Structure 1
Amino acid sequence: MKNKIKEQIQSGKLRVGDRVPSEKELTEKFHVSQITTKNALVGLAEEGIVERIKGRGTFVCESDLTASIRPTYEQEGLIGLILPSMKTKIEQEFVNYIEKYVSKNGHHLIIKITRESQFEEADAIEMFRKMDVKGMIIFPTEKETYNDAVLRLSLDKFPFVLIDRYMENILTYSVTSENKAGTQEAISYLLNKGHKHIGLISPIITNTVTDERAKGFENAFLKRGTTINKNLWLTLGFNDISQHKTPKLIKEFLISKPEMTAIFTMNAELAAYTHLAISSLKSDGCQEIELLTFDSPGISGVTFIKQDIEECSKKTVDLLLEQIEGIYEPKRIYVPVELKISENELSKMIPT
């Protein structure tokens, strides 16, 4: 324990004046008794490395350790971030917050975009390992099988965290939003409003994110004891999702399902395309369809499920640092989401 704290000081992660984790925090982190932790901190204080202040905590002092620190790029270390694209606001928010917490912990973030290619993903992992990064944060590509390069990281116990998606049958560190619970709440909200024929628009269900959201959709009907009509589901191949093709495909789908009164989309991009299709049908005098989606589409009047991107990012960086510091206890963390009802719908709910 003493050596770990010394390493953090030598690496610059803990600087002069910084508070060292408390006895309770260290006891939980290293799974030892509090007396062992106390002895470690007392030993560091006797060496003049830390100062223990009653009622305040333990703090890093000026010492030979801090005097020898050279705050160089190499010492602070590199963290690799691999993600499939940067085209959505959600992905941009993830990059922003991950960089914030990586930097706050004394490291530098480098980014590689795979454009949903497993070959690019494998190359990025190999490149980062050659660069001797301290660890990696990976958004896996949307494919039916996981990349062998990712599996090798797990077998080698190389520090990495999967974010947004995870490997279902392999124990790794991962952080994801409460996709199932959030979607179930959203569909229950529509059912409670009297919608019986609710559609779903989704990419091909190939990963844990779309799978969990689909299960959440189903669970809302099961909990209510209502029959679900999967003929109202439209799944799109990845090559079919574009601003030129998708709105037309969705419009054709909606026209073929006149009984549909509400529709749920798996993500903000599909919500935008669906909104265009609904607006086009509305101008043609067709029945209005209520739209609800996962993530904000930036469209007024649309109810959506809001992810806590900052909390997801913080927990991801925390789990990565845990591994870098020598602790390996794989875990899957789910971060709560919130149903954000549009102002238009809220105004209808307020009694006059």
Structure 2
Amino acid sequence: MKNEPLYQQIKNKIKEQIQSGKLRVGDRVPSEKELTAEFHVSQITTKNALAGLAEEGIVERIKGKGTFVCESNLTTPIKQPNKSKGLIGFILPSMKTKIDQEFVNYIEKYVSKNGHNLIIKITRESQFEEANAIEMFRKMKVSGMIIFPTEKETYNDAVLRLSLDKFPFVLIDRYMENILTYSVTSENELGTCEAITHLLNKGHKNIGLVSPIMTNTVTDERSKGFENAFLKRKTTINKNLWLTLGFNEISPNKTPKLIKEFLLSKPEITAVFTMNAELALYTHLAISSLKKETCREIELLTFDPPGIPGVSFIKQDIAECSKKTVDLLLEQIEGKYEPKRMYVPVTLKLSEEVELAETILT
């Protein structure tokens, strides 16, 4: 109101800013000098305005610090987050690799984006713990589950039971052969075929393979991709150059030594493909040690980024895998049940690209 005193007009203006949420509890209110400049009035007028607001308990004036909005019926209540639609359980075998960590990051992102909360259970490659996690989540009445199965040879009865009960769940990274369920996995076979073809095109004829024992669809698909590259070239494949390691043989203390001994026994090998980034690291250590002793050059290529400069790798699209996984789970939670197996394309990242990217970044 024009007939209102100037100090009252300033008080009303500040109240409007608080009511609209422009100023919230704890926010600093413009100082006397700032208000003087803004409203083109004397500092006495702005002082009276702030003093009046303080008397009404709307602001608090702290000597040497300023004037701040305090609790009052003028403040706009903070909007509470939307109530969660429910819980989703995520079971995975470990958190030791970057891929595991990326899956957790993106799964949580898409689960939260769709209004659910995520609970995580790490099985540490134990089928017993995997079964316990499934039972625990069912007792917690989760809306659905995302399961990254263990490396073991057979699937848990608990996982099979989920399928028979048509409980909402999605397998990630692998699937159940001969049993129709929802699953999302990368193009393991095609990606490996492309990688081995790349090595063959470079002139490598004797290509070694380092792999865990082949107990699941991931290792099976990648080994098929390896074979297909040779079949397409009508080139003989020598599986004597394949090294398969038991789960108890894979560790920082054992594996590099075993790989080095294998490479020493196979002097014809000029390139090695490893099934995952962990084995790539151990193989790189073995190759480096061998090179110091014999000056032997062996090219390394792997599935997933190993974090080793100059090493080519197959890159999975973890973000897309995670998004498709959550989408398929929500589809079931919403009442639709049409089991399907989805594949997500991968990309071969050559060492030249890796090195160039690192040069640009540095």
TM, length-normalised to structure 2: 0.75
| Partner in structure 2 of residue 90 of structure 1 | 99
What is the CA–CA distance in structure 1 between the aligned matches of 2:355 and 2:158, rounded to whole Å? 47
Whether 2:237 is the aligned partner of 1:228: answer yes
Whether 2:131 is the aligned partner of 1:122: answer yes
- 1:172-183 matches, cutoff 5 A: 172-183=181-192
Measured after TM superposition, the shift of residue 345 of structure 1 is: 9.0
Measured after TM superposition, the shift of residue 153 of structure 1 is: 0.2
| Partner in structure 2 of residue 284 of structure 1 | 293
1:259 aligned partner, one-letter code = E
| Partner in structure 2 of residue 8 of structure 1 | none
Whether 2:88 is the aligned partner of 1:79: answer yes
Work out whether residues 310 and 355 of structure 2, in 8 Å CA contact, stay in contact via their aligned partners in 1: no
Q: 1:136 to 1:153 in 2, by over 3 A?
A: same
Of 193, 197, 208, 2:206 maps to 197
| Partner in structure 1 of residue 226 of structure 2 | 217
What is the CA–CA distance in structure 2 between the aligned matches of 1:71 and 1:278, rounded to whole Å? 53
What is the CA–CA distance in structure 1 between the aligned matches of 2:112 and 2:353, rounded to whole Å? 40
| Partner in structure 1 of residue 16 of structure 2 | none
Deviations 1:192-249 (A, max 9, x none): 1100000000000000000000000000000000000000000000000000000000
What is the CA–CA distance in structure 1 between the aligned matches of 2:128 and 2:158, rounded to whole Å? 10
Work out whether residues 309 and 355 of structure 2, in 8 Å CA contact, stay in contact via their aligned partners in 1: no
Measured after TM superposition, the shift of residue 286 of structure 1 is: 3.4
What is the CA–CA distance in structure 2 between the aligned matches of 1:200 and 1:72, rounded to whole Å? 50
Tell me, what secondary structure is at the counterpart of 1:297?
Answer: coil
What is the CA–CA distance in structure 1 between the aligned matches of 2:345 and 2:85, rounded to whole Å? 32
Tell me, what secondary structure is at the counterpart of 2:343?
Answer: strand
TM, length-normalised to structure 1: 0.77
Measured after TM superposition, the shift of residue 285 of structure 1 is: 2.5
| Partner in structure 1 of residue 216 of structure 2 | 207
| Partner in structure 1 of residue 339 of structure 2 | 330
- 1:259-278 matches, cutoff 5 A: 259-278=268-287
Tell me, what secondary structure is at the counterpart of 1:329?
Answer: coil
What is the CA–CA distance in structure 1 between the aligned matches of 2:116 and 2:196, rounded to whole Å? 41
What is the CA–CA distance in structure 2 between the aligned matches of 1:225 and 1:287, rounded to whole Å? 28
Measured after TM superposition, the shift of residue 76 of structure 1 is: 2.2
1:153 aligned partner, one-letter code = L
Q: 1:279 to 1:153 in 2, by over 3 A?
A: same
Of 314, 317, 332, 1:305 maps to 314
Whether 2:196 is the aligned partner of 1:187: answer yes
| Partner in structure 2 of residue 66 of structure 1 | none
| Partner in structure 2 of residue 296 of structure 1 | 305
Tell me, what secondary structure is at the counterpart of 1:93?
Answer: helix
Measured after TM superposition, the shift of residue 72 of structure 1 is: 6.8
Measured after TM superposition, the shift of residue 303 of structure 1 is: 0.4
Tell me, what secondary structure is at the counterpart of 2:120?
Answer: strand
Gaps of 5+ in 2: 1-79, 357-362
Measured after TM superposition, the shift of residue 71 of structure 1 is: 5.8
Of 138, 143, 161, 1:134 maps to 143
2:98 aligned partner, one-letter code = K
What is the CA–CA distance in structure 2 between the aligned matches of 1:72 and 1:340, rounded to whole Å? 41
Of 266, 287, 300, 1:257 maps to 266
Q: 1:335 to 1:273 in 2, by over 3 A?
A: same
What is the CA–CA distance in structure 2 between the aligned matches of 1:227 and 1:345, rounded to whole Å? 31
What is the CA–CA distance in structure 1 between the aligned matches of 2:209 and 2:149, rounded to whole Å? 24
Q: 1:345 to 1:311 in 2, by over 3 A?
A: closer
Question: Which segments of structure 1 move beyond 6 Å, counting only runs of 4 or more?
Answer: 344-347
Larger Rg: 2
What is the CA–CA distance in structure 1 between the aligned matches of 2:242 and 2:295, rounded to whole Å? 20
Tell me, what secondary structure is at the counterpart of 2:294?
Answer: coil
Deviations 1:20-42 (A, max 9, x none): xxxxxxxxxxxxxxxxxxxxxxx
| Partner in structure 2 of residue 106 of structure 1 | 115
Aligned-pair identity in percent equals 84
Gaps of 5+ in 1: 1-69, 348-352
| Partner in structure 1 of residue 246 of structure 2 | 237
Tell me, what secondary structure is at the counterpart of 2:138?
Answer: helix
Measured after TM superposition, the shift of residue 134 of structure 1 is: 0.3
What is the CA–CA distance in structure 1 between the aligned matches of 2:153 and 2:108, rounded to whole Å? 29
What is the CA–CA distance in structure 2 between the aligned matches of 1:72 and 1:125, rounded to whole Å? 27
- 1:136-155 matches, cutoff 5 A: 136-155=145-164
Q: 1:133 to 1:282 in 2, by over 3 A?
A: same
1:286 aligned partner, one-letter code = C
